[in-house]
Amino acid sequence: MKMAMKKSLAGVLIIVLLFTMIGCSKNGKEVTTNGDNTPTEENTSTEAGKSGESGGIDHSKPITLDVFSAQTNYQGIQSGWFAKIVKDKFNIELNIIAPNVAGGGDTLYQTRSAEGNLGDIVIIDRAKMKDCVESGIILDISDYYAKSTNLKNFDQSIQATKEFIGSDKIYALSGSATCKATEPVFENQAPYVGTFMRLDYYNELGNPEMKNTADMLKVLKQMQDAHPTTDDGKKVYAFSLFDDWDGDYMAVASKYAFLYGYDEGKAGFVFPSADATSYSEIADDNGVYHNSLRMLFDANQMGLVDPDSSSQNWDTVYAKMQNGQTLFSFWPWLAGAYNKLENKKAGKGMAFIPVKDQKLVNDGYNRYGNTQLAIAIGKKTKYPDRVFEFVDWMASNEYIYYTPGSAGIKGLNWDIVNGKPELTDFGYKCMDDGTTKMPEEYGGGTFQDGRPQLGFNFLATTSVDTDTGEKFAIADWTSVLESTKTLLDENYEKTFGAKNAAEYLQKNKLVQVAPGSAYFAPSEDTELATKRSQCGDLIQNVSWQMVFADSEKDFNALWSDMKVQLEGLGYQDVLAADLKKLEGLREARAEAVAAENK
């Protein structure tokens, strides 16, 4: 049963962390922390401000911290309710610097790193982090870490990062730690990547069997023809794409790999199988990447691709999905933008709909954390004590409850009832509509805009809070599942004989798990990095041209010409390096499975 909203500001500001933190010991057993989130180490920096009378850190001076985050799509001063929490707790304001928003690829990173100051807090991929450590622009936090309250519970992942950095000191920290390597990470009872479409329109068509993606496009075409515009007159397309996340290839196209037995993002231009014993090369005429481009080309020829795709950003794509202008998504969290409670109650919404020839690959839990991303403190920060105190707090349960996918403010959005987490009435409003206005005494603004915009979690929301026995992700709370079952959920179960996508995939053995491991790609010398960058720029640009090619002849010509150009850019050297990465990945995944079976 939903609870009435509590409005006491004082109740929020004096929250004591009562939750426990999951970590993973070497034998795979869960360990917990006492949840205290306030470090008490003595101030060691002359510029950090005087120590308080209690011997702790003095917060009397307001400061602004620059946060360089390669993972976020937000730039500027953190605002809203989370900003107020940080201000009240630490007297800190966060200025977020985001290359994804600034544009120019690695230009912002290169410029700021060359100046020796990326920011007070640095969130970048591990390879770049190692370069920054070697360049001397990252702070050694070994002494701080030894006295940490929350971070010490992630020692296994942090030691793996230290090994990658190649130092006996601690400079960087990994995030998104979880446990069981061979158990798939499902968020909102759905796979990380899948075929998400309008279930109500699919039911209208009589639930046609889709044997392959060609059949899927035909079904999407039928949906689009039957529903060409939204209720407010906006044009509807099956696919609406964006290029914000493009790197060495077209990011949206690469997700197709997960649908057909391969992983992505772990070995450069090589897409590994779940156990990394086989692979698909990006420039293979019969590979998953080429097949994805072909699928998107075919979709565009059928009039299914939003013509604004090459010029719009993530925010626009999200807004279109929210408004019902898009019929397909690779990601459940994008598909979920349309699934407001009002729509679901009316039987309208996006859901995972299987395609018969697909067998999905989904990441398994990882006790070593996100092995591609790391967080560190810039060496030039004037406030190392206060920065570390804040970063250590980011590893607390309190912080995880603030992050996307979780509940928000305890006492306002949710509370504990009979030992279990439950949303308040206001919490349900925020879950259903991210534009819900927050009370002014909590910082104002909308709930969605006030979320932490840092782009980094030490603990995945799919992990279990051992104090409640529930995951941090609200969509998985027993109370939420019981109180929000809708006509859409009932129709899904009638259609597929399973309550949700996760149950359907596991029941029918249609998901392969890529075991979470300690693998991290080795850093590359300047020559190889340059070759990769040049090859990547070519692949990315040509990929977009291929999707929007005028004819099949042009599509094939663009691909053939790209392959010729790649040879002149050193593609074979890059491929050889990536095949070595594949060997390391295969060994690491095998070791993770073996360690779990001990």
DSSP string for 141-183: -HHHHHT-SSGGGGHHHHHHHHHHHT-SS--EEE--B---TTS
Other CB atoms within 10 Å distance of the CB of residue 64: 11
What's the whole-number mean pLDDT along residues 351-365? 93
Distance between CA atoms of 268 and 280, rounded to whole angstroms?
Answer: 11
What's the whole-number mean pLDDT along residues 582-596? 88
| 3-state class (DSSP) for residue 67 | strand
pLDDT score of 395: 92
- Contact between 191 and 502 under an 8 Å Cβ cutoff? The reply is yes
Residue 370 structure tokens:
């996100």
Residue 373 structure tokens:
């991303």
Q: Which CATH homologous superfamily contains domain 9-21+31-181+368-474?
A: Periplasmic binding protein-like II (3.40.190.10)
- Examine the pLDDT at 43 and tell me if it is beyond 80: no
- Beta-carbon contacts of 218 under 8 Å, excluding residues fewer than 6 positions away, are none
Type of residue numbered 411:
G
- Examine the pLDDT at 123 and tell me if it is beyond 70: yes
- Examine the pLDDT at 12 and tell me if it is beyond 50: no
% of residues, the chain, pLDDT over 90: 72
Q: What is the CATH number of domain 196-363+485-514?
A: 3.40.190
Distance between CA atoms of 431 and 87, rounded to whole angstroms?
Answer: 24
Confidence of residue 545 (pLDDT cuts 50, 70, 90): very high
End-to-end CA distance of the chain: 43
pLDDT score of 368: 66
pLDDT score of 38: 31
- Examine the pLDDT at 289 and tell me if it is beyond 90: yes
Structure confidence by residue, pLDDT tens digits, 146-204? 999 999 888 877 887 888 888 999 999 887 555 566 677 787 789 999 999 999 999 99
SS3 per residue for 188-248: CCECCCCCEEEHHHHHHCCCCCCCCHHHHHHHHHHHHHHCCECCCCCECECECCCCCCCCC
If you count them, how many residues does the chain have?
598
pLDDT score of 581: 95
Cα dihedral 142→143→149→154 (10° resolution): 10
pLDDT score of 27: 31
- Examine the pLDDT at 567 and tell me if it is beyond 90: yes
- Examine the pLDDT at 48 and tell me if it is beyond 50: no
Structure confidence by residue, pLDDT tens digits, 209-224? 999 999 999 999 999 9
Structure confidence by residue, pLDDT tens digits, 505-524? 999 999 999 988 878 778 78
- Examine the pLDDT at 407 and tell me if it is beyond 80: yes
CA distances from 463 to 177, 370, 405, 546 (A): 8, 13, 12, 40
Nearest to 266 by CA among 405, 394, 122, 366: 366
pLDDT score of 47: 38
- Contact between 68 and 124 under an 8 Å Cβ cutoff? The reply is yes
- Examine the pLDDT at 310 and tell me if it is beyond 80: yes
pLDDT score of 127: 84
Range(s) of the chain covered by CATH 3.40.190.10: 9-21+31-181+368-474
What's the whole-number mean pLDDT along residues 298-306? 98
- Examine the pLDDT at 22 and tell me if it is beyond 50: no
- The per-residue DSSP string of 473-500 comes to SGGG-HHHHHH---HHHHHHHHHHSSSS
pLDDT score of 157: 78
Average per-residue pLDDT for the chain: 87
Pairing, β 270-272 against β 279-281: antiparallel
| 3-state class (DSSP) for residue 81 | helix
Please tell me which residue, 331 or 36, carries the higher pLDDT value. 331
Residue 417 structure tokens:
């009832």
What's the whole-number mean pLDDT along residues 534-561? 98
pLDDT score of 458: 86
- Examine the pLDDT at 33 and tell me if it is beyond 70: no
Please tell me which residue, 74 or 164, carries the higher pLDDT value. 74
